[in-house]
Amino acid sequence: MSTSEISLTAGMRTNLLNLQSTSKLLNRTQERLSSGKQVNSALDNPTNYFAAQNASQRASDLADRKDGMAEAVQTVSAANAGITAITGLINAAKGIAQSALSTSDTTTRSTLGAQYSTIQSQIDNISSDSGYRGLNLLSSTNTLTVNFNENASSSLNVVGFLANSTGLSLGGVTSNWQTNANITTDQAKMDTAISTLRTNTQTLAANLNVITIRQNFTDSMINTLQTGADNLTLADMNQEGANMLMLQTRQSLGTTSLSMSSQAAQSVLKLF
């Protein structure tokens, strides 16, 4: 039997419509309380919903870039650790060279020259071991590209350099220190190598500073975007809780009112 075949009094129909309206509001309020959002779909508020979606999507994209920046920091840190170790070895070699200059004993000089050759071999090893996840800024002129924004239009290129004995022009691993001239020549090469390392350290430090600043900026942007999205969609839980209590009261009163309307219709039966 369709509802059109049932005749309701005007009072009953009004009370029924009010109950249906209250039920819809109750369902909406329950959804807001359970999700914590007043805008759960585009039907609730198309403008706020899609604006919040865009902000959340951008925050997610920036979070992915943040992972890339963290990896870049580790790559640069690995290179810096290698530079520090190589610098220490060269300083040790300078001490060996000074010891060689202070003696005229050929055997001692040969031994010290062999030690210098060993140090150069270790410099080569450290240079090749200073990579991170397959990228080594000290073994060749590799370039580390760090993307900062979601469409990669903002980026930084960190260019590596060859930090082995050849790249630093130390003259190879065979050292003939029988003459003072050879020793002083190698000392000059060591000084040049340290100068080269210091210059590249400053460049890496500057790049690392940029990456760190962009990391902090990205954190702030993600927080701003997420807060903006929340402001557009989150519900006021205190207000929604009060709404729930009021709607439950309205539903109870509506049910009572509908019952009273039906009693008025039933009173007709008392005439028979």
Query: Is residue 217 situated within a structural domain?
Result: yes
Q: Which domain holds residue 180?
A: 46-232
Domain count, the chain: 1
pLDDT on residue 195: 96
3-class secondary structure per residue, 50-103: HHHHHHHHHHHHHHHHHHHHHHHHHHHHHHHHHHHHHHHHHHHHHHHHHHHHCC
Q: Is 48 exposed, middle or buried (0-12, 13-18, 19+ CB in 10 A)?
A: middle
Q: Is 56 exposed, middle or buried (0-12, 13-18, 19+ CB in 10 A)?
A: middle
The single-letter code of the amino acid at 193 is: A
In angstroms, the CA 31 to CA 14 distance is 26
pLDDT on residue 12: 62
Q: What is the DSSP letter of 140?
A: S
Handedness of CA 197, 201, 207, 208 (dihedral sign): positive
Tell me how crowded residue 111 is: count the other CB atoms within 10 A of its CB. 15
pLDDT on residue 42: 74
Tallying the residues shown for the chain, one arrives at 272
CATH of the domain at 227: 1.20.1330.10
pLDDT on residue 24: 72
The one-digit pLDDT tens for each residue of the chain (272 residues) are 455 555 656 666 676 676 667 667 666 666 665 666 777 777 777 888 888 889 999 999 999 999 999 999 999 999 999 999 999 999 999 999 999 999 999 999 999 999 999 999 999 999 999 999 999 999 877 899 999 999 989 999 999 999 999 999 997 656 688 899 999 999 999 999 999 999 999 999 999 999 999 999 999 999 999 988 887 776 666 666 676 677 677 667 666 665 666 665 555 545 55
The single-letter code of the amino acid at 207 is: N
